[in-house]
């Protein structure tokens, strides 16, 4: 194995084909940002674009912008850009609403398509909003549906003939574990179930092949690896073969077959527009496009290669420099089993992460005991991995995390 020194990582950065992309993002000097799996960095062009939408498109062109500046088509146009990142075709993805809302719509459609089945499979340790939305929908439908919570090792055996829908997140938000989309989708289809994939931690982070896996439905957020900004609109995917076969329940006018006919009664659009609800946030969509345009110019295979290297080095360095400090790696070592983050459990994880943030090294904490580091190949550097682990080692050696300041609980962790 090569000698792992700071110079070694600086050399890797010099040879890195993706290194020029870092200049397209604004990142404060001296900050090591390893939280792009929570909030992606700001594309430099975004501020000018936001200003242009506000001043020219809104200020000067006013209502004419819906046609003149393409506002009405924007949600579908961005959907087509995301389609290229997740193995979908044009016309299969729409950018709209929030992740949870899109899950609600898709789950409702999928349950309608399997009216005789009552079971929904979900991962119990998943980011909870998906289950919360499902629980809300079940209450509202009041048709006797139930969620069967499973964990990774039992997913396949639990997908049986009574299952209507399997709703899973491809990359686990805490551990970074990557599920086998093809295998699970095939198993679900064998027993006649449908699958919804939450791609929050996949889109823009690794190659996704929805159509290659024969996926039915998917959704994801815009503010993580797509670099769309805080609260960026989410996306929703419906495989072409399912479009027009089920109706999502939030039947606003944008999802009508002829929105500008202003008919009294609802008629669903027969294409991806049926997933839209109402007027979408144009400012947010315009800013999201800045992040997407950068990603669309990068090669996803390069992103994946660098992401895997960054994660490998992070785990290697933790084993070398932090082995005695009580961290347990919860991210799979096997490359094919992980996304683009590394996570460790630690009894004092919250305070340790606060101390690290105090040193300008940003990761995050997920209760009860997980410290997470997102590796985002467009702007993460190899030397960041070195500096972060050495920073962590110093904090642990000096006991800096014991400072009461780092134990003060914050609303957002």
Ligand X SMILES: Cc1ncc(COP(=O)(O)O)c(C=O)c1O
The verdict on 98 binding ligand X (CB under 6 A) reads yes
- Active site includes 372? yes
The verdict on 50 binding ligand X (CB under 6 A) reads no
CB 299 within 8 A of CB 366: no
b/e 287-326 (16+ beta carbons within 10 angstroms → b): bbbbbbbbbeebebeebbebbbbbbebbbebbeebbeebe
Q: Is 122 helix (H, G, I), strand (E, B) or coil?
A: strand
CB 384 within 8 A of CB 22: no
Task: Out of 9, 71, 127, 350, point to the residue binding ligand X (CB under 6 A).
Answer: 127
Q: What is the DSSP letter of 257?
A: S
Closest distance of CB 225 from ligand X, Å = 11
Closest distance of CB 260 from ligand X, Å = 29
CB 75 within 8 A of CB 252: no
**Smaller CB distance to ligand X: residue 100 or 349?**
100
Bridge partners (DSSP) listed for residue 343: 372
- Active site includes 16? no
- Give the number of residues in contact with ligand X, rule: CB under 6 A: 12
Of 80, 198, 384, 387, which one is the catalytic site residue? 198
Burial class (CB in 10 A: 0-12, 13-18, 19+), 66: middle
Closest distance of CB 170 from ligand X, Å = 9
Task: Out of 49, 77, 91, 129, point to the residue binding ligand X (CB under 6 A).
Answer: 129
Q: State the Cα–Cα distance between residues 234 and 231, nearest whole angstrom.
A: 9
Could you tell me which of 97, 148, 144 has the C-alpha nearest to residue 117? 144
CB 75 within 8 A of CB 280: yes
The verdict on 125 binding ligand X (CB under 6 A) reads no
Of 224, 366, 381, 393, which one is the catalytic site residue? 224
Of 81, 306, 372, 393, which one is the catalytic site residue? 372
**Smaller CB distance to ligand X: residue 129 or 309?**
129
Q: State the Cα–Cα distance between residues 190 and 127, nearest whole angstrom.
A: 27
Give the interface segment with ligand X, choosing from 58-66, 93-101, 243-251, 270-278 (CB under 6 A): 93-101
Closest distance of CB 288 from ligand X, Å = 13
Residues near 65 by beta carbon (within 8 Å), at least 6 away in sequence: 57, 58, 71, 282
Give the interface segment with ligand X, choosing from 48-56, 124-132, 347-355, 389-397 (CB under 6 A): 124-132
Site string for ligand X, 13-42 (x = CB under 6 A): ------------------------------
Closest distance of CB 261 from ligand X, Å = 32
Tokens of 359: 């040193």
b/e 369-405 (16+ beta carbons within 10 angstroms → b): bbbbbbbbbbbbbbbbbbbbbebbbebbeeebbeeee
Q: State the Cα–Cα distance between residues 297 and 40, nearest whole angstrom.
A: 17
**Smaller CB distance to ligand X: residue 123 or 387?**
123
The verdict on 197 binding ligand X (CB under 6 A) reads no
Q: Is 97 helix (H, G, I), strand (E, B) or coil?
A: coil
The verdict on 130 binding ligand X (CB under 6 A) reads yes
Q: State the Cα–Cα distance between residues 39 and 42, nearest whole angstrom.
A: 9
The verdict on 86 binding ligand X (CB under 6 A) reads no
Task: Out of 75, 83, 88, 99, point to the residue binding ligand X (CB under 6 A).
Answer: 99
Of 21, 217, 223, 225, which one is the catalytic site residue? 223
Could you tell me which of 288, 408, 363 has the C-alpha nearest to residue 38? 363
Site string for ligand X, 206-245 (x = CB under 6 A): ---------------x------------x-----------
Site for ligand X in 144-183 (CB under 6 A): 169, 173
**Smaller CB distance to ligand X: residue 16 or 369?**
369
The verdict on 200 binding ligand X (CB under 6 A) reads yes
The verdict on 364 binding ligand X (CB under 6 A) reads no
The verdict on 198 binding ligand X (CB under 6 A) reads yes
CB 87 within 8 A of CB 212: yes
Closest distance of CB 307 from ligand X, Å = 17
**Smaller CB distance to ligand X: residue 99 or 280?**
99
Give the interface segment with ligand X, choosing from 92-100, 112-120, 235-243, 297-305 (CB under 6 A): 92-100
Q: State the Cα–Cα distance between residues 262 and 277, nearest whole angstrom.
A: 15
What is the contact surface with ligand X in residues (CB under 6 A)?
98-100, 127, 129-130, 169, 173, 198, 200, 221, 234
What positions carry a catalytic annotation?
Answer: 127, 198, 223-224, 372
């Amino acid at each position: 194995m090569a000698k792992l020194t700071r110079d070694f990582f600086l050399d890797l950065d010099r040879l890195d084909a993706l290194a020029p992309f870092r200049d397209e993002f604004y990142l404060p000097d001296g900050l090591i940002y390893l939280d792009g799996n929570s909030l992606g960095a700001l594309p430099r062009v975004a501020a000018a674009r936001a200003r242009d939408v506000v001043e020219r498109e809104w200020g000067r062109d006013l209502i004419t912008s819906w046609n003149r500046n393409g506002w009405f088509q924007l949600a579908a146009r961005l959907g087509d850009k995301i389609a290229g990142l997740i193995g979908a075709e044009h016309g299969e993805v729409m950018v709209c609403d929030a992740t949870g809302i899109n899950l609600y719509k898709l789950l409702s459609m999928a349950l309608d398509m399997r009216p005789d089945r009552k079971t929904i499979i979900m991962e119990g340790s998943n980011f909870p909003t998906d289950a919360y939305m499902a629980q809300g929908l079940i209450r509202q439908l009041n048709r006797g549906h139930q969620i069967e919570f499973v964990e990774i090792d039992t997913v396949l055996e639990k997908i049986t003939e009574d299952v209507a829908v399997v709703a899973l997140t491809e990359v686990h938000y805490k551990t970074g574990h990557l599920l086998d989309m093809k295998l699970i989708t095939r198993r679900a289809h064998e027993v006649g179930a449908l699958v919804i994939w939450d791609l929050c931690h996949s889109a823009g982070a690794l190659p996704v092949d929805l159509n290659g896996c024969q996926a039915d439905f998917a959704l994801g957020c815009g503010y993580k690896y797509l670099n769309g900004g805080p609260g960026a609109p989410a996306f929703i995917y419906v495989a072409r073969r399912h479009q027009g076969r089920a109706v999502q329940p939030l039947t606003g006018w944008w999802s009508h077959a002829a929105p500008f006919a202003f008919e009294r009664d609802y008629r669903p659009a027969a294409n991806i527009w049926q997933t839209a609800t109402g007027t979408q946030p144009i400012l947010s969509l315009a800013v999201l496009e800045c992040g997407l345009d950068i990603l669309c110019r990068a090669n996803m295979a390069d992103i994946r290669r660098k992401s895997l290297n960054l994660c490998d080095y992070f785990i290697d360095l933790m084993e070398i420099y932090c082995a005695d400090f009580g961290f347990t790696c919860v991210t799979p070592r096997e490359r094919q089993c992980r996304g683009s983050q590394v996570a460790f459990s630690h009894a004092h994880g919250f305070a340790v992460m606060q101390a690290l943030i105090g040193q300008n090294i940003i990761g995050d904490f997920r209760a009860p005991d997980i410290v997470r580091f997102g590796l985002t190949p467009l702007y993460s550097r190899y030397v960041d991995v070195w500096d972060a682990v050495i920073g962590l080692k110093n904090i642990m050696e000096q006991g800096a995390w014991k400072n009461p300041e780092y134990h003060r609980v914050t609303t957002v962790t």
